[in-house]
Amino acid sequence: MNQNPVEEGQKFPLTIRRMGINGEGIGYFKKAVVFVPGAITGEEVVVEAVKVRDRFTEAKLNKIRKKSPNRVTAPCPVYEACGGCQLQHVAYSAQLELKRDIVIQSIEKHTKIDPTKLKIRPTIGMEDPWRYRNKSQFQTRMVGSGQVETGLFGANSHQLVPIEDCIVQQPVTIKVTNFVRDLLEKYGVPIYDEKAGSGIVRTIVVRTGVKTGETQLVFITNSKKLPKKREMLAEIEAALPEVTSIMQNVNQAKSSLIFGDETFLLAGKESIEEKLMELEFDLSARAFFQLNPFQTERLYQEVEKALVLTGSETLVDAYCGVGTIGQAFAGKVKEVRGMDIIPESIEDAKRNAEKNGIENVYYEVGKAEDVLPKWVKEGFRPDAVIVDPPRSGCDQGLIKSLLQVEAKQLVYVSCNPSTLARDLALLAKKYQIRYMQPVDMFPQTAHVETVTLLQRR
């Protein structure tokens, strides 16, 4: 193995050749690869080696000798400490180009497919790439003599960065979070202490229906107890009429997962309503729903363009969540079937179908890799499949089922280019990749969503 020529603490000049999948700059020093967060393609910089590994070096940016024309000043005051966004220092047009390149890099790294032979389209961006997130999950902590802070953990750390305003969040989510934070402080409610495992309130989760104005607040707690509950609910109801649902979720696990399994109603109704493509959706506390409702409609339009539907097809919506994608297409096919592992999501999906007057849908709780083969055994064969898996990609069992089922059309909606590329390498045995369409669902971050159309060979 090559010995890395770089030593820890060493400072050296570097030209940034490309940006990586996490939005970091990439350069080469004596042929050894160097990753530099905050550096942009084309810049000449001076860096300092922070972590030296056999095959690469992580360095910090010390000085910019030649600045990229795409460099802008990040408008967020805690941008560098927070780590929630990675690209605020990059002009938006260049962010969109980078996201297409991230898809190309993933294909290069995880497959034997030549990306120059693929149709990878330019990224679809937003007119206004700020204030788009409809949901916030802010951690709480106690500082000094009873002061409560809310914010996010810094990049690769468990240090809380206090956040007074987040400019990629819908303003109402911040307003509600800050109001609740002040109430917790006012009433001296015990705040969860991760090290000691003591205290009660861990996280404040707020989600808003952008088209309906309905907002849900969830207290994530370390126990069923929530002291001063009555007083706090009375103040919230008086000051924040937009909060139509207040829930409590109990999570006693020592893990980085936000939600536990038990959720109950404190005030208002169990779920909030949101509208998407003329349809109405009920969202319960744990149900998955896209975080950028503006771009979700663009994303679904791209899925619609990808599918050729005559009205006689059967369609599977794998990882269906609250049924959004499948129900958007129910009027264009004979039958839609969906599955999801979260029972509340399936309840929501059934309720949403009823609400929207959709009768040709069927939902089942379970893993896609278990449910699809079972349906096939029962004699059901889908003509088209939409998969919209979590960041971990499709389960290998589901890939196997998809290769056996051989649906004519397969649309893969991905939120992680690396797992998308890994899955495409396997699906390529039976499917041809017609094109890939990146969509920017999370401006200012290195995340990219991709709609890939696959057709049976």
d(CA 422, CA 93): 28
Residues assigned a catalytic role: 415
Worst-scoring range by mean pLDDT, 127-131, 178-182, 312-316, 319-323? Answer: 319-323
Is the per-residue pLDDT at 1 higher than 70?
Answer: no
Q: One-letter amino acid identity for 216?
A: Q
394-402: average pLDDT: 94
The per-residue pLDDT for range 224-283, each reduced to its tens digit, is: 999 999 999 999 999 999 999 999 999 999 888 999 999 999 999 999 999 998 899 999
Q: 327, 332, 330: which is closest to 348 by C-alpha?
A: 327
327-354: average pLDDT: 95
What does each C-alpha distance from 12 to 6, 28, 87 come to in angstroms? 9, 11, 24
pLDDT score, position 41: 97
Residue whose pair of structure tokens reads 């967060």 in the numeric block: 37
Is the per-residue pLDDT at 288 higher than 90?
Answer: no
Worst-scoring range by mean pLDDT, 31-35, 156-160, 283-287, 372-376? Answer: 156-160
pLDDT score, position 95: 98
Q: Which residues contact 323 (CB under 8 A, 6 or more apart)?
A: 281, 317, 338, 348, 349, 350, 352, 353, 361, 363
Question: For the chain, how many residues are written?
Answer: 457
The per-residue pLDDT for range 357-393, each reduced to its tens digit, is: 999 999 999 999 999 999 999 999 999 999 999 999 9
pLDDT score, position 3: 81
Asked whether the beta carbons of 231 and 221 are under 8 A apart, the reply is no
Q: What is the CA radius of gyration of the chain?
A: 24
Token pair for residue 343? 């029972």
**Cα end-to-end distance, the chain, whole Å:** 41
Percent of the chain at pLDDT exceeding 90: 94
The per-residue pLDDT for range 408-431, each reduced to its tens digit, is: 999 999 999 999 999 999 999 999
Asked whether the beta carbons of 398 and 410 are under 8 A apart, the reply is no
Q: One-letter amino acid identity for 27?
A: G
d(CA 34, CA 15): 10
Crossing angle of helices 417-427 and 92-110, rounded to 10°: 40
What pLDDT band is residue 120 in, cutting at 50, 70 and 90? very high
Mean pLDDT, the chain, whole residue set: 96
pLDDT score, position 2: 57
